[in-house]
Amino acid sequence: MAAEIHSRPQSSRPVLLNKIEGHSDGVNAAVLIPKEDGVITVSEDRTIRVWLKRDSGQYWPSIYHTVSSPCSCMSYHHESRRIFIGQDNGAVVEFLISEDFNKMNHVKTYPGKTRGLWESQWVISTGHDKSICWMSTQSGSMLGRHSFGSWASCLQYDSDTQHAFVGDHSGQITLLKLDEQTCSVITTLKGHEGSVGALYWDPVQRWLFSGASDNSVIMWDIGGRQGRTLLLQGHHEKVQALWYLPLTHQLVSCSADGGITVWNMETTREEAPQWLDSDSCQKCRQPFFWNIKQMWDSKTLGLRQHHCRKCGKAICGKCSSKRSTYPIMGFEFQVRMCDDCYDTIKEEDRTPLATFNEGKHNIAHMDMDLSRGLMVTCGSDRVVKVTHSSFTTFTDVFPKLKSITFCCGTENEMFSRMLMLLFLYTGSESGLGFQQSIIKLVHTACALLLQLF
């Protein structure tokens, strides 16, 4: 069922600890069980499985449950041990897992199409019926529904403000405010040229990250209220999973070809410019092929239009013969530059601001346990991989804390260290929502300390 590869990490890159096999079809979601050596998986083969690590070092299924339809998504609430499974037939099924993770009881079934799931006191789901539904976890009844113009493909929810973010197949992201029985559309975010496959919401910075089939990631600064966006291009295939590490200011993105990119979000980045429209090259003034009048007047053939990724100007191929990376704008791969912009780029401007790793399998979903430095990935190849990743640990955070304690003096040194220990302790046994609450506490306390001292 599972193979133990390494018992402990031996490299700064992701180290494969275990490979779990046994599903007969693609695995759509896998989550790590906090404070347990366990993984929960759901698959196209209609099974829900809870894998526990045995004394041999291998994972074996302690729960094997079959449902009526392929499982498309999952949400697990560790404090109550409730698990919500979205199925291809549109139903959401709730189960309660026993304390020893050896038994699972059916609680109720909710109506509603499912491609993404989120639960609080509501079960919120989206799906191919082009709608978002929210239902009561107590009564099981549907509270409200809102329709979109395209298939809804992914979902994030901020329980504090009751805002939902829904990505769809047209490349748009819709921000909604959900109420008990109604909802209101706040705004629509447009920037991707392909279907949105992954969303991640950071409630501390109030940043929304989106990944799409155009191989790109976009950071939307929702909290800044200035419309600021950052484009990140570092994948060769569609982006299907995202995770932001707020204490180390790193974004982890995974793509269908197994690429795992870790982005440094602490550095100051520049927004990529909007592409300009023109009927002729904005450098040499030669007409583009649709500019019939200028072509006739100048007795020349029209040229194909390109765009400089640094300045956004419309240019011809002759005026953009150079290629360069420009990481500060998110271009980790070489892109087209006009000759003038290319000459302004220094060698230090090409220093990468992201690191690239290989998951060596299709990645459709990932989950992290920051307290243990673990990451689990799964995909259409039917394989689930548990890895230890240096970017999921807190080793890079302690130097930052030392600078804070140095400013605050020795009297408050223990207090700030206790904040970190509090997060490490609670993070090992609590779900993502509770971890985010602790992160907010750490950020607020550190900000107050810096103001006082």
Parse the chain into domains and list their residue ranges: 2-269+355-392, 292-350, 398-452
What percent of the chain has a predicted confidence (pLDDT) above 70?
Answer: 81
pLDDT at site 423: 44
3 beta partners: 19
Give the model's pLDDT for residue 438: 59
**pLDDT value at residue 405:** 32
Say yes or no to pLDDT of 169 above 50: yes
2-269+355-392 in CATH: which number? 2.130.10.10
Q: Where are the beta strands (DSSP E) in 313-426?
A: 314-315, 322-326, 331-337, 354-358, 365-369, 374-378, 384-388
Q: Work out the average pLDDT over 183-207.
A: 94
Regarding predicted confidence, which is higher, 99 or 90?
Answer: 99
**pLDDT for res 136:** 85
Mean pLDDT computed over 24-52: 96
Tell me what pLDDT residue 453 has. 46
- Spatial separation of the C-alpha atoms in residues 307 and 323, rounded to whole Å: 12
Q: Which of 64-68, 126-130, 182-186, 425-429 has the lowest mean pLDDT?
A: 425-429
Q: What is the pTM of this model?
A: 0.82
Confidence category of residue 115, pLDDT binned at 50, 70, 90 = low
Question: Which residue has 């640990």 as its token pair?
Answer: 393
What pLDDT digit, counting tens, does each position of 225-274 carry? 888 999 999 999 999 999 999 888 999 999 999 999 999 999 999 999 99
Contacts of residue 164, defined as CB under 8 A and 6 or more positions apart, other chains included, come to: 118, 124, 132, 155, 156, 157, 158, 175, 176, 178, 183
pLDDT of residue 187 exceeding 90, the answer is yes
Tens of pLDDT, residues 363-376? 999 999 988 899 99
Q: What is the pLDDT of residue 138?
A: 80
Average pLDDT over residues 286-292: 90
Residue 392 has pLDDT above 50, yes or no: yes
Per DSSP, the three-state class of 450 is helix
pLDDT band for position 421 (cuts 50, 70, 90) = very low
For the chain, the average pLDDT equals 85
pLDDT of 147 > 60? The answer is yes
pLDDT at 49 over 60: yes
pLDDT score at 114: 52
What are 63-95's pLDDT values in tens digits? 999 999 999 999 999 999 999 999 988 888 999
Please compute the mean of the pLDDT values over residues 272-293 and round it to a whole number: 92
CA gap 29, 378 in Å, rounded: 7
Which two structure tokens, joined as six digits, stand for 270?
Answer: 């520049």
Average of per-residue pLDDT across 274-290: 93
> For residue 394, what pLDDT is reported?
45
**pLDDT of residue 151 exceeding 50:** yes
Task: Supply the CATH classification number for the domain 292-350.
Answer: 3.30.40.10
Residue 429 confidence (pLDDT): 44
Of 335, 205, 192, 190, the C-alpha closest to 265 is 205
pLDDT in tens, 300-354: 888 899 999 999 999 999 999 999 999 999 999 999 999 999 999 999 999 999 9
| Sign of the alpha-carbon torsion through 268, 233, 432, 14 | negative
